[in-house]
Chain A
Amino acid sequence: QKEVEQDPGPLSVPEGAIVSLNCTYSNSAFQYFMWYRQYSRKGPELLMYTYSSGNKEDGRFTAQVDKSSKYISLFIRDSQPSDSATYLCAMSFNAGGTSYGKLTFGQGTILTVHP
């Protein structure tokens, strides 16, 4: 069993739809949870990060963490064609800045938002 599981999709939605992306994980020691967006042949860019359980909202994006269920989600409201990309969840044991702060990634979900 992989430490982090993410449905690879692909996911295709019409413009304006609400998109829900999810990851489950097995290691309860993970404390920091992140969502990255990666366009083709580019490095990942950070969208959201949360510490421990709870919700965090930033514009059209909402990240949720449920540590009791070992489940995290990213919601995209009013999706746009420019949101078409691969979305990667990632998590770490600590905040980084040390050799122990490495990220464990999910497989990535390929999202296409069509006009």
Chain B
Amino acid sequence: GAVVSQHPSWVICKSGTSVKIECRSLDFQATTMFWYRQFPKQSLMLMATSNEGSKATYEQGVEKDKFLINHASLTLSTLTVTSAHPEDSSFYICSATDRGRAYGYTFGSGTRLTVV
């Protein structure tokens, strides 16, 4: 089945530094990538949607300059949290779709970010 590999699975960084999270589709072309944020015991909140080769579309309230999304190829999308602060600590999850399938949202395994 379709697999999305997300790395790192967890990361601790100092306040003010930047962190990059990668999601790779291993056996399909991820024409669209969604990035979510999830707080403990809460549901997934969509942050942005990106189509390969295009600028990402951010949800209302999400700072595009803080959460940089790059989707330069059909198999790789990255989320960079710039100048991270403790309030950015969260669980970040990517999800990819492939226009070649009638249906399909494949999720990565998530990245737990802790900013200290």
A-side residues, CB < 8 A to B, are 6, 8, 32, 34, 36, 41-46, 49, 88, 95-99, 101-103, 105-108, 110
Q: On chain B, which size bracket covers the interface?
A: 20 to 34
The answer to whether residues A102 and B102 also contact, given A42-B110, A88-B43 and a CB cut-off of 8 A, is: no
| CB-CB nearest in chain A for B54 | A99
B75 lies within 8 A of chain A by Cβ: no
Asked if residues A108 and B99 are in contact (CB atoms below 8 Å), the reply is no
Residues in chain B near residue A110, CB distance under 8 A = 41
Q: Name the one of B4, B57, B102, B112 contacting A95, with C-beta atoms under 8 angstroms.
A: B102
User: Contact partner of A44 among B31, B44, B97, B104, CB < 8 A?
Assistant: B44
Q: Which of A101, A105, A108 contacts B97 (CB 8 A)?
A: A101
Which residues of B are found within 8 Å of A106, using beta-carbon distances?
Answer: 43
Contact of A108 among B31, B43, B51, B98 (CB under 8 A): B43
CB neighbours of B103 from chain A (8 A):
32, 49, 95-96
Task: Select from chain B the residue with minimum beta-carbon distance to A104.
Answer: B46
Q: Which 6 A-B pairs have the closest CB atoms?
A: A97-B99, A43-B107, A96-B97, A105-B43, A43-B109, A43-B110
Q: With A and B bound together, what is the CA distance between A107 and B39 in angstroms?
A: 11
A5 to B48, CA, bound (A): 22
- Residues of chain A lying within 8 A (CB to CB) of residue B4: 43
Please determine whether A43 and B97 come into contact, CB atoms closer than 8 angstroms: no
- A41 to B44 Cα, complex, angstroms: 12
* Residues of chain A lying within 8 A (CB to CB) of residue B100: 97
Q: How far is the CB of A66 from chain B (nearest CB, A)?
A: 20
16 A-B pairs within 8 Å (CB atoms) are namely: A6-B43, A32-B103, A34-B105, A43-B4, A44-B44, A44-B93, A45-B107, A88-B43, A97-B31, A97-B104, A98-B32, A99-B32, A101-B105, A103-B105, A107-B43, A108-B43
Beyond A43-B93, A88-B43: 5 further Cβ-contacts under 8 Å?
A32-B103, A43-B4, A96-B32, A99-B57, A107-B42
Closest to A100 in B: B49
